[in-house]
């Protein structure tokens, strides 16, 4: 038996939405200096504010790849406001859980989506309600929590 759920293994072995979007509406890159993993999310957002397409590139562990894959599936076809509700908890639930040591990998996914939405907002001079400027390194966050 694996410490990973079948869904995590499935998304790790056959990740959805891998790649890049040329001339993306928004691109977000977030890393974690502690483990060295990096995730990049590309969003294609229509004039109606709907996320038409999303792709990712992740240089990271298996859980980071599975969470990126699931996160892209969860935001695809959604409005920006609904995409903001795709938290790391939502991603973990959709994957039937992650081992404690791998929870930070799902944070990378949440933050990378926020970073891509932030980039979109900056490029278009928009303000997205509820979205704050994301960190480029989520490890800063973790150390604050540990202190």
In the bound complex, which residue of the shown chain has the CB atom lying closest to ligand FES?
35
**Which positions from 8 through 37 interact with ligand FES, judged by CB under 6 A?**
32, 35, 37
61 as an active site residue: the answer is: no
35 as an active site residue: the answer is: yes
**Which positions from 37 through 96 interact with ligand FES, judged by CB under 6 A?**
37, 60-61, 63-64
Q: Does 119 bind ligand FES (CB under 6 A)?
A: no
What is the spatial order of strands in the sheet that 51-59 belongs to?
26-32, 37-45, 51-59
Q: How far is the CA of 68 from the CAs of 39, 40, 41, 105, 123, in angstroms?
A: 8, 9, 8, 9, 23
Q: Does 106 bind ligand FES (CB under 6 A)?
A: no
Q: Which residue lies nearer to ligand FES by CB, 51 or 66?
A: 66
Applying CB under 6 A, the residues found at the interface with ligand FES are 32, 35, 37, 60-61, 63-64, 102, 104-105, 108
């Amino acid at each position: 038996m694996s410490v990973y759920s079948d869904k995590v293994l499935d998304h790790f072995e056959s990740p959805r939405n891998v790649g890049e979007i040329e001339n993306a509406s928004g691109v977000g890159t977030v890393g974690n200096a502690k483990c060295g993993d990096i995730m990049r999310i590309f969003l294609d957002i229509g004039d109606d504010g709907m996320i038409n397409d999303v792709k990712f590139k992740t240089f990271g562990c298996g859980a980071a790849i599975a969470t990126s894959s699931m996160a892209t599936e969860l935001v695809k076809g959604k409005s920006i406001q609904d995409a903001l509700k795709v938290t790391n908890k939502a991603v973990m639930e959709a994957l039937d859980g992650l081992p404690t040591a791998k929870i930070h990998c799902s944070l990378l996914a949440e933050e990378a989506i926020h970073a891509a939405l932030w980039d979109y907002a900056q490029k278009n001079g928009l303000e997205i309600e509820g979205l704050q400027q994301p960190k480029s390194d989520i490890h800063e966050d973790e150390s604050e929590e540990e202190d």
